[in-house]
Structure 1
Amino acid sequence: MSALITKDLLTMRKIGIKIGFTIVLYVLIFSSMGNSAFLSAIIIMFSAMVLMNTFAYDELAKWDIYLLSLPVTKKQIVLSRYLLGFLFIAVGCAVSALLALLSSKMDSELPVILYCFFALSLCVLAFMMPLLYKFGTQKARLWIILFCFLPTAAATILSELHLSLPSFGPIDDSTSELLLALVLPVSLLLYAGSYFLSCRIFQNKEI
């Protein structure tokens, strides 16, 4: 298991400079604006999306064909990717917190923002990973773009038609605290469910 994760980390070294340059660029832009919270959100979501590159490299190298000739199961292969995704998001949170501390512009709500975007990133990967196993990186990208576009398009149409969503009124503090407490457990459950779905897809997939 650790060997599979190490392989992906070594593969990611090839684009490590590009990733580092992108993060530095975001830091320079948003640090000058004093918006450490938004910078943290960008870094965490970016960390989650980096995982897609490991799939792309493996597809180009036909790595799965070779990997399945080794004494590893398909479930172990899938699990290593999910653990790697979790690791990327955790590192993204750590980097975000460190940058906020170093910039001396620590937002009082930053811990809550890190918590929420950690959970949101898990949900993004939970949605994305089965698509990657089912369709591969090229087709999966199209599906991901489509699902991201649909809510935006729906909101634009509602705005043009001067329609609005029903209002549920203000949420009291106890309810908001309960919802906040449930965000991470629900995200972890979705992530676990996504893992089992990806295992089923990969088990039935012909390599």
Structure 2
Amino acid sequence: MIALLTKDILTLKKVGVKFAIILALYAVIFSSSGGVAFLSAFIIIFSAMLIVNAFAYDELSKWDTYALSLPVTKKQIVLSRYLLGILFDTAGFLISILLALAARKLDSELSLIIYCFFAGSLFIMALMMPLLYKFGTQKARIWLIVLFLAPTAGAALLKNLGINFSALSSISNATAELLTIIFLPAALLLYIGSYFLSCWIFQNKEI
């Protein structure tokens, strides 16, 4: 398991260096202009999206075919990729916290933003990884665009049909706080469920 994680980290080493350079540039630009919230969101989402690169490199090198000749199971291969996703996402979360502390901008509002983006990125990965295992990186990207555009398109359609969304503004602060608190646990549960779905897809996939 550790060897599989190490392989992915070493494979993404060059991407990580480029990310560090971009991060340093954005940190100078947005920290000086007060855009720490945007920078935090960028770091967390970009960290989560690194997992797509890991899948892409594996496809190019036909890694899965080679990996199955090693003393590892398909479930272990999938588990290592999900652990990698958590590792990257948590790293992005911690970097965001440290940058906010360094910029002396870590108040309750920014903490909430970072928390929501951390949970949201887990939610995105939970939806994304079964698609990557099922369709591969190229086709999965198309499905992801469709998936994330669907709520926007649906909301626009309902609005055109005259359905009023003003009732959403009447949600109490207590309800809003509760929804925020359960966002991360719900995302974690979805992530665990996504792992089992990816295991099932990978088990039945011909390689």
Tell me if TM exceeds 0.5. yes
What pairs with 1:22-33 in structure 2 (closer than 5 Å)? 22-33=22-33
Deviation of 1:187 (Å): 0.8
Alpha-carbon distance in structure 2 between the residues aligned to 1:141 and 1:70? 29
CA RMSD across the alignment: 1.9
Give 5+ residue unaligned stretches, structure 1: none
Tell me the amino acid that sits aligned with residue 177 of structure 1: E
Tell me the amino acid that sits aligned with residue 41 of structure 1: A
Distance 1:104 1:181, change over 3 A: closer
1:118 aligns with 2:118: yes
What pairs with 1:176-187 in structure 2 (closer than 5 Å)? 176-187=176-187
1:78 aligns with 2:78: yes
Moved more, 86-95 or 109-118: 109-118
Encode CA deviations 1:97-131: one digit per residue, 9 max, x unaligned: 11111122333322222221111111000000000
1:132 aligns with 2:111: no
What is the SS of the residue equivalent to 2:69?
A: coil
Percent identity between matched residues is 61
Moved more, 114-123 or 103-112: 103-112
What is the SS of the residue equivalent to 1:118?
A: helix
Distance 1:25 1:145, change over 3 A: farther
1:206 alignment counterpart: 206
Alpha-carbon distance in structure 2 between the residues aligned to 1:38 and 1:107? 15
1:41 alignment counterpart: 41
1:93, 1:118 within 8 Å by CA — same for their partners in 2?
Answer: yes
Deviation of 1:31 (Å): 1.5
What is the SS of the residue equivalent to 1:167?
A: helix
Distance 1:107 1:30, change over 3 A: farther
Report how many residues are paired.
207
TM-score by length of 1: 0.91
1:37, 1:107 within 8 Å by CA — same for their partners in 2?
Answer: no
Distance 1:97 1:158, change over 3 A: same
